[in-house]
């Protein structure tokens, strides 16, 4: 089987990384100090030196005029997430052919986004940012914070899936029998995420989706009024607490 | 399928895409989307590709006048979203979909190079503009106060069309706790300027829809309606608006004029706050942050203000040192010039000495450190000067002192020159001054004392220099003379000794001769006496003979018969 360079061959082991063209880690911050809440999400390049973390934290606090107590918290949070990422880094993960569904359900300022699509996991040249850009362009979203938010949401999900594949790789190595049923991972073996490729792409089916399913996969972008935003925020905070 | 197509108008496809056919997959497709054709995955196969392609093109052709977006099609297609997008852009690039769709930019792109449409802020906006109705003439957005503290309005994002102009508080929201978040610095820093600039550039008059060049009239009541000058003058307003309600705004007015008071405020606040431009902008209330920064950069020393909080003290010190050094340089140059002026005025025996001296004074100027050479071809003064530069100034000064005292002690005439109290002190001071000036060349940091001293010495340096020269020469001459005299003394003494010895020798010889002569004299005397004595004897002898003879006569002796007898007589006499 010939293989395109960007696409991992089945059952190949690759060092852990985010399966996108840029190995960027999604970082999410949600810090509360003295009643002030700071939420943010961004991507971080794990090959940056760790000294950059503190610099970034300081800069953020300065730009946003937060109380200085945030600096250490921010830096710590980033550092923790980075360390977690790095703990996976030396390990192997399977990059068999897997197409996973990605769901978006996020609110950025006034924009509410719901979406559902498929993402190929072993496409190491995939670019969430490009997807987000196209999305915003096509949907006519002007708020520039939406694009990055979408990209980060995608990355987070990919990150999670990659972590799962690392653990499953470990498991399969531990158990001698190994999970080598066929070349493709069926849904049950990978933790229920992946799509059954044979079913979808096999010769018997069409890749054109049935109409009734179109709604499922259609992106929904809602622009909310202020009251709705407030209401949603209140609900979110109640959920968290 | 082809039957259906025959009933309709032919779709326009660019000429470079006429390789396309429904029933085949062309080489171009195989090449550009090779991941479908290399069998690398079950998710990609030629069949799958064909399905994607056909669906997308058909979807587009359902309504060729509207631009088909990727999002519309991807919900209907199963597959990795990235690869779907790739197919979509491929088709769009080749004009098989979205060809000749309105939106000027895209048409240009397609007619020309037909690249996939790049996403940029402006293009996004314009594409969007084509879709959404925009309020006429007004720049987007309502001016919004971004944060509780800042007075400056932030150019917010344009409100989404579904939200009316009253809303759109944009980013500056009141959270639950009454805390207002300032806008994320990244966006407003990066895009705020360009949006503002766009605003400035794209000021379209409300009535004639042309760009307002320099000044425009803003309708104060509504705040978002502007007219260009021409329209205002020609009375070409909307119905309800009166002339009085319009306010003249000269664009570019505020940002250019900086009054002195503002500049002063700016500098003070920068010194106080340093890098915190928000606070600076607050202090200088009439100017924005950017204005402050750009004004500061324009000011000649403004660059030094950046980060001035740290460097304040150092800055002043540096300038202080520099001014001191320059002062020292100046004074040295002055005295140097005065020295050089006087030099030709003295008539000198030895020009070489003078030049050598001037040279050495000049040399420390050119080279901070001079190597003392043992080159004896230079004059004595030269050597003395060089050696004095090699050792410290105080050493040289005290050496000069000692030499002077010694000379005074030995020689009377030199004392005449040197032995005036104030002159002596001056000599010492000015000798030190010279040494100090030379030292100052090598050691720039003691700027404070030198200028003062050299100032004091300045007026008196003229007079001192003459006396110093004379004294130096006199001292040298005296030294040489003393040496010569001493040598002569020694020589004389040597001669005398030699003479003395010679005399002694001669005397001795004379004595010897005299004694010899005396000896001979004595001998002569003796000889004479003996001579006399002998003569006496002789005479006596003669006398005796005579006597004898006489007697004979007297005795009448017979004749000489008897020789024998005579002989016997004579013999007996004997």
Q: Of A202, A101, A188, nearest to B43 (Cα)?
A: A202
Q: Which helix (H) or strand (E) holds B85?
A: helix B81-93
The DSSP symbol for B248 reads E
Spatial separation of the C-alpha atoms in residues A100 and A117, rounded to whole Å: 8
Residues in a beta bridge with A29: A40
> Lowest-confidence range among A26-40, B309-323, B437-451?
B309-323
Confidence of residue B525 (pLDDT cuts 50, 70, 90): very high
Q: Which residue has better confidence, B278 or B524?
A: B524
Cβ-based contacts of B190 with chain A (< 8 Å): none
Query: Cβ contact (<8 Å) for A225 and B167?
Result: yes
Mutate to test the interface with B, among A11, A140, A182 (most CBs of B within 10 A): A140
- The helix-helix angle for B81-93 and B46-62 (nearest 10°) equals 60
Spatial separation of the C-alpha atoms in residues A111 and A53, rounded to whole Å: 30
Evaluate whether B96 touches B13 at the Cβ level (below 8 Å).
yes
Residue with token string 């605003």: B199
Residue-wise pLDDT tens digits, B256-297: 677 888 888 888 888 887 777 788 888 777 777 778 788 878
> Lowest-confidence range among A60-74, A123-137, B207-221, B376-390?
B207-221
HEC profile of chain A: CCCCCCECCCCCEEECCCCCCCCCEEEEEEEEECCEEEEEEEEECCCCCCHHHHHHHHHHHHHHCCCCHHHHHHHHHHHHHHHHHHHHHCCEEECCCCEEEEEEEEEECCEEEEEEEEEECCECCCCHHHHHHHHHHHHCCCCCCHHHHHHHHHHHHHHHHHHHHHHHHHHHHHCCCCCCCCCCCCCCCCCCCCCCHHHHHCCCCCCECCHHHHHHHCCEEEECCHHHHHHHHHHHHHHHC
Look at chain A and count its residues: 241
Residue with token string 């990150």: A159
Query: Cβ contact (<8 Å) for A140 and B132?
Result: yes
Tell me the backbone φ, ψ of residue B200, rounded to 5 degrees: -65, -40
Query: Cβ contact (<8 Å) for B80 and A123?
Result: yes
Tell me the backbone φ, ψ of residue B240, rounded to 5 degrees: -85, 0
Mutate to test the interface with A, among B36, B43, B117 (most CBs of A within 10 A): B43
CA distance B119 to chain A (A): 7
What value of ipTM does the predicted structure carry?
A: 0.78
Spatial separation of the C-alpha atoms in residues B393 and B387, rounded to whole Å: 10
pTM over 0.90: no
**Closest Cα in chain B to A100:** B80
Task: State residue B401's pLDDT score.
Answer: 84
Cβ-based contacts of A140 with chain B (< 8 Å): 127-128, 131-132
- Using the Cβ of B341 and the Cβ atoms of chain A, whether some distance falls under 8 Å is answered with no
The pLDDT of residue A123 is above 50: yes
Evaluate whether B437 touches B454 at the Cβ level (below 8 Å).
yes
CA distance A86 to chain B (A): 27
Cβ-based contacts of B55 with chain A (< 8 Å): 208
Residue-wise pLDDT tens digits, B162-216: 433 343 343 434 444 445 555 555 555 556 556 555 555 455 555 666 555 555 5
Task: State residue B107's pLDDT score.
Answer: 41
**DSSP helix, strand, coil percent of chain B (3-state; round to 5):** 65, 5, 35
Spatial separation of the C-alpha atoms in residues B417 and B475, rounded to whole Å: 10
Out of A37, A197, A225, whose CB is closest to B43? A197
Residue-wise pLDDT tens digits, B443-469: 544 444 454 455 445 555 556 677 888
β pairing state of A99-108 and A111-120: antiparallel
């Amino acid at each position: 089987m010939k293989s395109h360079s960007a696409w991992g061959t089945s059952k190949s082991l690759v060092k852990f990384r985010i399966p996108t063209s840029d190995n960027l880690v999604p970082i999410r911050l949600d810090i509360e100090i003295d009643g002030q809440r700071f939420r943010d999400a961004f991507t971080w390049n794990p090959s940056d030196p760790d000294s950059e973390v503190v610099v970034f934290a300081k800069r953020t606090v300065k730009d946003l005029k937060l109380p200085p107590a945030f600096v250490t918290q921010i830096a710590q949070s980033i550092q923790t997430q980075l360390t977690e990422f790095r703990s996976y880094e030396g390990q192997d993960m399977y990059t068999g052919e897997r197409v996973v569904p990605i769901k978006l359900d996020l609110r950025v300022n006034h924009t509410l986004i719901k979406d559902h699509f498929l993402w190929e996991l072993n496409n190491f040249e995939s670019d969430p940012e490009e997807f987000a850009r196209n999305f915003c362009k096509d949907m006519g979203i002007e708020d520039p914070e939406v694009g990055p938010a979408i990209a980060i949401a995608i990355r987070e999900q990919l990150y999670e899936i990659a972590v799962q594949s690392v653990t499953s790789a470990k498991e399969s190595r531990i158990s001698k029998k190994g999970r080598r049923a066929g070349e493709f991972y069926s849904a049950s073996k990978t933790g229920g995420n992946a799509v059954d490729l044979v079913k979808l792409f096999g010769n018997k089916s069409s890749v054109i989706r049935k109409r009734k399913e179109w709604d499922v996969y259609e992106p929904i972008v809602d622009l909310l009024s202020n009251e709705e935003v407030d209401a949603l925020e209140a609900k979110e905070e109640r959920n968290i607490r | 399928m082809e039957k259906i197509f025959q009933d309709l108008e032919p779709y326009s496809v660019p000429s470079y895409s006429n390789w396309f056919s429904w029933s085949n997959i062309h080489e171009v497709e195989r090449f550009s989307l090779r991941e479908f054709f290399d069998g690398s995955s079950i998710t990609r196969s030629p069949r799958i590709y064909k399905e994607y392609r056909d669906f997308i093109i058909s979807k587009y052709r359902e309504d060729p006048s509207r631009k088909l977006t990727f999002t519309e099609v991807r919900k209907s297609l199963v597959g990795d979203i990235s690869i779907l997008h790739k197919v979509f852009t491929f088709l769009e690039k080749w004009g098989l979909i979205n060809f000749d769709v309105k939106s000027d930019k895209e048409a240009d792109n397609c007619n020309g190079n037909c690249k996939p449409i790049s996403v940029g802020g402006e293009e996004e906006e314009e594409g969007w503009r084509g879709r959404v109705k925009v309020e006429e003439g007004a720049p987007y957005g309502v001016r919004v106060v971004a944060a509780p503290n800042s007075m400056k309005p932030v150019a917010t994002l344009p409100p989404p069309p579904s939200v009316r102009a009253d809303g759109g508080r944009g980013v500056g929201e009141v959270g639950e706790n009454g805390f207002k978040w300032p806008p994320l610095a990244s966006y407003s820093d990066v895009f705020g300027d360009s949006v503002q600039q766009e605003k400035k550039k794209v000021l379209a008059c409300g009535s004639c829809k042309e760009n307002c060049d320099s000044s425009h009239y803003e309708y104060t009541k509504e705040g978002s309606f502007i007219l260009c000058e021409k329209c205002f003058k020609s009375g070409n307003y909307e119905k309800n608006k009166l002339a009085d309600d319009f306010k003249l705004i000269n664009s570019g007015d505020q940002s250019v004029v900086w009054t002195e008071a503002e500049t002063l405020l700016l500098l003070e606040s920068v010194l106080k706050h340093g890098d915190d431009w928000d606070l600076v902008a607050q202090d200088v209330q009439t100017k924005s942050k950017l204005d402050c920064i750009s004004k500061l950069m324009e000011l000649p020393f403004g660059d030094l203000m950046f980060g001035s909080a740290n460097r304040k003290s150092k800055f002043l010190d540096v300038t202080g040192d520099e001014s001191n050094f320059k002062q020292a340089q100046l004074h040295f140059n002055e005295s140097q010039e005065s020295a050089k002026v006087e030099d030709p005025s003295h008539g000198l025996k030895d020009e070489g000495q003078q030049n050598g001296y001037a040279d050495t004074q000049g040399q420390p100027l050119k080279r901070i450190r001079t190597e003392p050479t043992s080159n004896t071809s230079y004059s004595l003064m030269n050597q003395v000067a060089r050696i004095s530069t090699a050792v410290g100034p105080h050493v040289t000064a005290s050496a000069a002192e000692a030499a002077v005292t010694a000379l005074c002690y030995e020689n009377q005439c030199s004392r005449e020159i040197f032995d005036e109290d104030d002159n002596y002190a001056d000599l010492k001071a000015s000798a030190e001054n010279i040494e100090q000036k030379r030292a100052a060349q090598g050691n720039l940091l003691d700027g404070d004392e030198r200028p003062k001293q050299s100032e004091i010495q300045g007026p008196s340096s003229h007079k001192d220099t003459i006396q110093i020269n004379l004294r130096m020469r006199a001292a040298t001459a005296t030294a040489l003379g003393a040496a010569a005299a001493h040598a002569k003394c020694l020589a004389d003494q040597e001669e005398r000794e030699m003479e003395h010895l010679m005399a002694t020798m001669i005397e001795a010889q004379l004595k010897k001769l005299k004694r010899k002569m005396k000896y001979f004299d004595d001998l002569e005397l003796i000889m004479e006496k003996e001579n006399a004595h002998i003569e006496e004897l002789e005479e006596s002898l003669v006398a005796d003979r005579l006597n004898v003879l006489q007697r004979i006569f007297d005795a009448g002796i017979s004749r000489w018969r008897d020789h024998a007898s005579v002989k016997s007589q004579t013999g007996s006499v004997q």
